[in-house]
């Protein structure tokens, strides 16, 4: 029952007719492609800098990823390159709101429609944000969220698929639970009440080769509690970003990776770029500050090498400069100020050495 409630509340928050709760964001991406019955070997346009599951979901469905360059100014899919990489055998495009920064949906959506491409939002790094007056998750045919432990809200692990198409919703619901044709909870509810005494609540039919991807009530209980806090989480993230950005404003060699447009935002990363990336990582390590690189371009990984990695100029330049810094709602001002102080020291030493 809680899964059903969580699905309804989440769909209402995003503003789609339907949503299906699953046990990971990866499962959400897999099913959002699988429900379309695309022919084997067709191509899906995917940004070259993203979490690996974005492209893995394409391979799970016997489709081929086609990597598209990202924009230097915000790491989201580059619309000019998207148009260039498009060919007749493309069936879908997956846009990623990288680090919580919205992709240019206002350009991509009308174009994808004209080309008859399925448009998927990988919203795993964003939750509760609006872009140009419309909720993230409503800009596409199917939108996928992640509730993995580090994401904006969490259910331990978990994910959600949001959409308006009833047929695809029913297919996804079935595929998420062993391919059965009726939701078990709804089926069993039918056995209660005098009127329904003789319904065969136990009967189901296996229509599809489905998966064990459903969310359970433990996760949904946590999701419902987290959903109430989503605005607080995003507000806290905005305040932390404001403090970080003010602190590093005057630095010469370290700049923010994203433009950080804060109103109604849901940023998941605080990322900076510098030409001295690896030196800065070492320096911060010596100061006990953890860092990460989100992400190494997918075409640089051996499994994805065989898919085209041509025309990814921005990707191969920008990825060498990006560093993610500590960023979570409970990060204290004291710690932010310490991190900023270390960034300033590094920047000043560079100026001095030059
Ligand atoms: C986290 C993430 C996923 C996968 O979500 P899981 O819940 O970990 O399976 C997919 N895409 C992006 C962009 C992500 O950041």
Residue 289 CA to ligand 1 centre (angstroms): 24
Contact 219, 5 (CB under 8 A): no
pLDDT at 160 over 70: yes
pLDDT at 12 over 80: yes
Residue 152 CA to ligand 1 centre (angstroms): 11
pLDDT at 195 over 80: no
Q: 3-class SS at 185?
A: helix
pLDDT at 196 over 80: no
Backbone torsions φ then ψ of 106, nearest 5 degrees: -65, -25
Contact 26, 54 (CB under 8 A): no
- Rounded-to-integer distance, Cα 3 and Cα 177, Å: 13
- Indicate the pLDDT class of residue 188, thresholds 50, 70 and 90: confident
Helices 166-175 and 25-34: angle between axes, nearest 10 degrees: 120
Whether the ω angle into residue 295 lies within 30 degrees of 0, i.e. cis, is yes
Q: Is the CB of 121 under 6 A from ligand 1?
A: no
Instruction: Give percent above pLDDT 70 in the chain.
Output: 98
Q: State pLDDT tens for residues 245-304.
A: 999 999 999 999 999 999 999 999 999 999 999 999 999 999 999 999 999 999 999 999
Q: Which of 183-187, 281-285, 348-352 has the highest mean pLDDT?
A: 281-285
Average pLDDT over residues 100-110: 98
Q: Is the CB of 265 under 6 A from ligand 1?
A: no
pLDDT at 199 over 90: no
Average pLDDT over residues 212-221: 98
pLDDT at 238 over 80: yes
pLDDT at 10 over 90: yes
pLDDT, averaged across the chain: 96
- Rounded-to-integer distance, Cα 288 and Cα 284, Å: 6
Q: Is the pLDDT higher at 150 or at 350?
A: 150
What residues pair up with 47 in beta bridges, in sequence order? 68
Residue 99 CA to ligand 1 centre (angstroms): 11
Mutate to test the pocket of ligand 1, among 120, 124, 158 (most ligand atoms within 8 A of CB): 124
Q: Cα dist. 10→6, 21, 54, 309 in Å?
A: 6, 9, 22, 37
Residue 80 CA to ligand 1 centre (angstroms): 25
Give residue 197's pLDDT. 66
Q: Is the CB of 96 under 6 A from ligand 1?
A: yes
Q: Which atom of ligand 1 is nearest to the CA of 125?
A: 15
- Rounded-to-integer distance, Cα 156 and Cα 309, Å: 35
- Indicate the pLDDT class of residue 237, thresholds 50, 70 and 90: very high
CB atoms within 10 A of CB 325: 22
Give residue 194's pLDDT. 67
């Amino acid at each position: 029952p809680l899964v059903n409630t969580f699905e309804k509340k989440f769909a209402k928050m995003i503003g789609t007719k339907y949503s299906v709760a699953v046990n990971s964001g990866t499962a959400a991406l897999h099913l959002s492609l699988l429900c379309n019955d695309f022919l084997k070997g067709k191509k899906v346009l995917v940004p070259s800098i993203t979490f690996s599951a974005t492209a893995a979901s394409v391979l799970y469905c016997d489709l081929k990823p086609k990597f598209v360059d990202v924009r230097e100014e915000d790491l989201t899919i580059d619309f000019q390159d998207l148009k260039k990489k498009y060919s007749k055998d493309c069936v879908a495009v997956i846009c990623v709101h990288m680090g919580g920064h919205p992709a240019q949906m206002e350009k991509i959506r009308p174009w994808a429609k004209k080309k008859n491409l399925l448009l998927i939002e990988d919203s795993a790094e964003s939750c509760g944000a609006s872009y140009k007056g419309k909720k993230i998750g409503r800009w596409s045919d199917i939108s996928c969220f992640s509730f993995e432990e580090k994401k904006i809200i969490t259910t331990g692990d978990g994910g959600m698929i949001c959409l308006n198409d009833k047929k695809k919703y029913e297919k996804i619901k079935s595929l998420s639970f062993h391919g059965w044709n009726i939701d078990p909870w709804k089926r069993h509810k039918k056995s209660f009440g005098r009127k329904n005494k003789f319904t065969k609540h136990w009967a189901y039919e296996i229509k599809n080769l489905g998966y064990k991807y459903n969310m359970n009530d433990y996760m949904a209980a946590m999701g419902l509690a987290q959903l109430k806090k989503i605005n607080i989480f995003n507000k806290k993230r905005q305040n932390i970003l404001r403090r970080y950005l003010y602190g590093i404003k005057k630095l010469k060699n370290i700049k923010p990776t994203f433009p950080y447009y804060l109103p109604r935002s849901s940023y998941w990363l605080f990322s900076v770029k510098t030409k001295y990336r690896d030196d800065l990582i070492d320096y911060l390590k010596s100061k006990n500050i953890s860092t990460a690189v989100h992400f190494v371009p997918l075409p640089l990984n051996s499994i994805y090498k065989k898919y085209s990695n041509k025309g990814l100029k921005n990707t191969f330049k920008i990825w060498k400069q990006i560093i993610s810094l500590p960023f979570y709602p409970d990060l204290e001002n004291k710690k932010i100020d310490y991190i900023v102080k270390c960034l300033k020291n590094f920047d000043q030493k560079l100026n001095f050495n030059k």
